[in-house]
Structure 1
C-alpha cells in the first residue's frame, strides 16, 4: 500500500510519495462503484445516515492528521477502504492447519507491510505471537509506529519488529523499532527446537545480548523462524520480471521454519482486469476510487491509482497511491514458487461481482458472503480474487 520508490527495478512498492494532491470537490460525482476487489469476510461499513457526532468520533479514532486542514491521512483511508486483516488472518490460520498442522502458527512475517495493520491484528489474537514487518516505504513505517503500534500497549508492541528495506535484499533491511531481545526472551525452547534462527548465522547466535541489541540489520537480529510469510494487497505485482519474483520467493522460503511453514500471497484477475477501468466504493465519510489504466498485453502491465473523495471536507485526494503492476497469471506464479523450492502450491479462488453490472457499492457489501474455495480448475470470469499458498 502506498509504497514509494525511486525507480521500478528497486521499487517493489506501490506508490509515489509526492504523487497525490488535495483538490476542492468541484467535479461531478462518478456513479460507478467497484466490487470489493480486496475485501475478505468483513462487516458492512457504517451507513451514510450516521450522525455528525458519530462521524467526528470516527475521524478522531481512524487517523485524521490533527492539522487545521482536517484532512485525514491517506494511510488511514487505505486501511479503512482496502484492508480486512481479520479475514486474512482467518484464512492464514486455516491454510497453515491444513497444509502443515501439528502446531499453532505463532510467528508471522508480513512483506510489503506498509502500515503493518495485519501484523498488529495478528499480535492481538494470541499473546504468544510475534510479527515481523518489512517495507521499503519509511513514511508508511513511521505512520505505523505513531498510529498503529504506539496505541496497542507495550506488552503487544514488544512482539513486533519493523524493518525498512527491499524484499529482494531482506537481510540488509534496517530495524526501525523495538528491542529484539524482548522477542527472544519470550521465545520458548520448543519454538527453537529444530530451527536455526531465520536471518542469523551461528556466530551471531553465540553473540552477546549487547551485540545483538546494537545491530540494526535483519541479518544480525535473532528472531524466531516464521510459520507464515505473506505478501498481500497484490504486492507481488510490483515485481516485473520472473527472476525477481523467484528471488523473492526464495527469500520467503528461507525465512520459514524448518518444521514447516507456508507462504501466502493474493492476486486478482478476470476480463475486467485487462483494460481501462474506473470504479468506486462509498463509505460513510469518504468515497474510494480505483482507477486502472490501459493494459499492455505484451508486458502485462498497467498502472493503478487510488483516489479518495472526502465528503465532509469537500476535498479530493488524487493519486493518494499509484502502482505500476505486472499482472501475473496463476500458472506463472505456481511455476516460480516451485522453482524457488516450495514443495506444493494451492489456489483458493472466489468469483467477484461483475464490474459492468454493479452501479453502486456501499462499503464492503458486494460479494461479502462469497467464500474462497480451493480449486485446481476455474473458468474465466469478469473478476476474481485468489490466495496462492506455497507450502515449505
Structure 2
C-alpha cells in the first residue's frame, strides 16, 4: 500500500467522529432543564505565527505517520489516552442529555424517552451517561473506530454499574450501511438477551433493525466474520453530536443517513438531534486554544474552500506535566453544511418537522485564549425562526418523526 493510500485509509478512520468547535462546560450537578449552561470559547483566532503547510506531500505524510505512532504509544509512556483527553475537553454529556430530554418532551411528549442511539459515538460517553439515572434505559452506539469502541468498554461502561453491559449495544460500522455493522461483544458479557422485544417495530420487516454481529472478542478480527441478526428496541432519540454530520460530504449521503435514522425511530414518535456550528469565523483559517489544569486543547481549522465548503480540522493536546505534544490526535475532513441544507435533507428523508435551537457564541477575535470555564456562562439555546449572522454560533437541529 502506497503512502497516499495509507493516508486516505487513516483519514477515513479518523474522520467519522466529530469534535467541538466551541464546547460547553456544563453545569453538571443534575439534569434540570433550567440549568445555566456555560460555554468556553477555545480561541486564539487567526494566527500569523503559524507556519504555512509544507508543499511536499511526502514529507507531510511522513510527519503525520510519526505523530500517529507517537499518539498510539502515548499511554504506554504514562501519558493519558487521547480518548480521555477528548472526553475531558470536547464533550459535555449531561448538558446534551438535558436538552435531549427537553426536546423529546416538547415535540413528542406522552412518555419518557428511554431508548437512545448515538451515531458517530466514538467512546460512547453520551450513551454510557444516558444509562446512569434510570435502569430502564438502553443505548445503541455506532462508530467506525473499533479502537474507540474498545476503549469505551474498558473505561466507560464499567463505571455505569453492574447492569451497564446488558443495556448498551456497540456497533462497529458505517452509519450509511447500518445493517452491515458488527456488534462488538463484551467478552463473556451477553447483551443480546437483555434487549427486550416488546417495543420493537413489528409492522414490517423493513422496520426491524438487523445488523451483522460479532460474537467473539471485541478485539478479535477473526471473529468479525461470525454474523447473525439482532433485533433492537425502537429508539426514542437518535443523536449525532460533535458536528459529526460534517463528515458526510455528499447531499445524497446525508439524505440516506437521515432515512436510516428515521427507520429506527419509534412509530410512537421520536426525534433526531444533531449539532452544527457556523458564523463568519467558521469560514476562515482558525487556531482556537483552551487551557485545562493539566493540558491545553487546540482546535486548528485549515483554509476554507468556499466552493466545496470543505475544511480540515485537527485537534492537538499539549500536556504540561509530561511536557509532550499530541499533534493531530484527531483529524477530520469536513463539509460545513448550512442550516437550510440540513433542513431540506431532513424533510426529504421524511421527517415531519425541523426546529432550530441556536445560541450566539463569544467572538473569536475578542477571546484569544480561554480557561476551562467562565466565558458565556449564562448563554442558553433558544428556538428561533430567524437568526442574524454573527461571528460564531452553535445550534441544535431537532427533527421530529411521528
TM range (shorter): 0.7 to 0.9
Q: 1:267 to 1:68 in 2, by over 3 A?
A: closer
Q: Give the corresponding residue for 1:183.
A: 194
Distance 2:296 2:173 in 1: 32
The answer as to whether partners of 2:169 and 2:191 remain within 8 angstroms in 1 is yes
The answer as to whether partners of 1:175 and 1:216 remain within 8 angstroms in 2 is no
Quote how far apart the aligned CAs of 1:71 are: 1.1
User: CA-to-partner distance for each residue in 1:254-278, whole Å, 9 max, x for gaps?
Assistant: 0100111000000000000000000
Q: 1:340 to 1:8 in 2, by over 3 A?
A: farther
Q: Does 1:234 align with 2:237?
A: no
Pairwise CA RMSD of aligned residues?
A: 2.8
Unaligned runs of 5+ in 1: 16-34, 46-63, 205-213
Quote how far apart the aligned CAs of 1:152 are: 2.8
Select between 357-366 and 140-149 the one with higher mean Cα deviation: 357-366
Distance 2:375 2:384 in 1: 22
Q: Does 1:41 align with 2:26?
A: yes
Which of 151, 158, 161 pairs up with 1:150? Answer: 158
Distance 2:12 2:327 in 1: 25
Distance 2:390 2:278 in 1: 8
Q: Give the corresponding residue for 2:142.
A: 134
Q: Give the corresponding residue for 1:168.
A: 176
Q: Give the corresponding residue for 1:71.
A: 79
Unaligned runs of 5+ in 2: 1-6, 29-37, 40-71, 212-223
Distance 2:226 2:143 in 1: 15
Distance 2:237 2:93 in 1: 15
Q: Give the corresponding residue for 2:273.
A: 264
Distance 1:199 1:143 in 2: 29
The answer as to whether partners of 1:10 and 1:166 remain within 8 angstroms in 2 is no
1:1-392 equivalent positions in 2, closer than 5 A: 6=9, 13-14=16-17, 37-39=22-24, 41-42=26-27, 69-178=77-186, 179-184=190-195, 187=196, 189=198, 191-192=199-200, 199-200=208-209, 220-392=229-401
TM score, norm. by length of structure 2? 0.78
Distance 1:345 1:105 in 2: 19
Quote how far apart the aligned CAs of 1:349 are: 0.3
Distance 1:12 1:94 in 2: 30
Quote how far apart the aligned CAs of 1:40 are: 5.7
Secondary structure of the residue aligned to 1:6 is: helix
Quote how far apart the aligned CAs of 1:157 are: 2.0
Quote how far apart the aligned CAs of 1:156 are: 1.8
Distance 1:173 1:106 in 2: 23
Q: How many equivalent residue pairs?
A: 337
The answer as to whether partners of 2:202 and 2:208 remain within 8 angstroms in 1 is no
Quote how far apart the aligned CAs of 1:66 are: 9.3
Distance 1:196 1:369 in 2: 47
The answer as to whether partners of 2:170 and 2:183 remain within 8 angstroms in 1 is yes
Distance 1:69 1:10 in 2: 24
Distance 1:194 1:272 in 2: 47
Q: Give the corresponding residue for 2:59.
A: none
Distance 1:166 1:68 in 2: 30
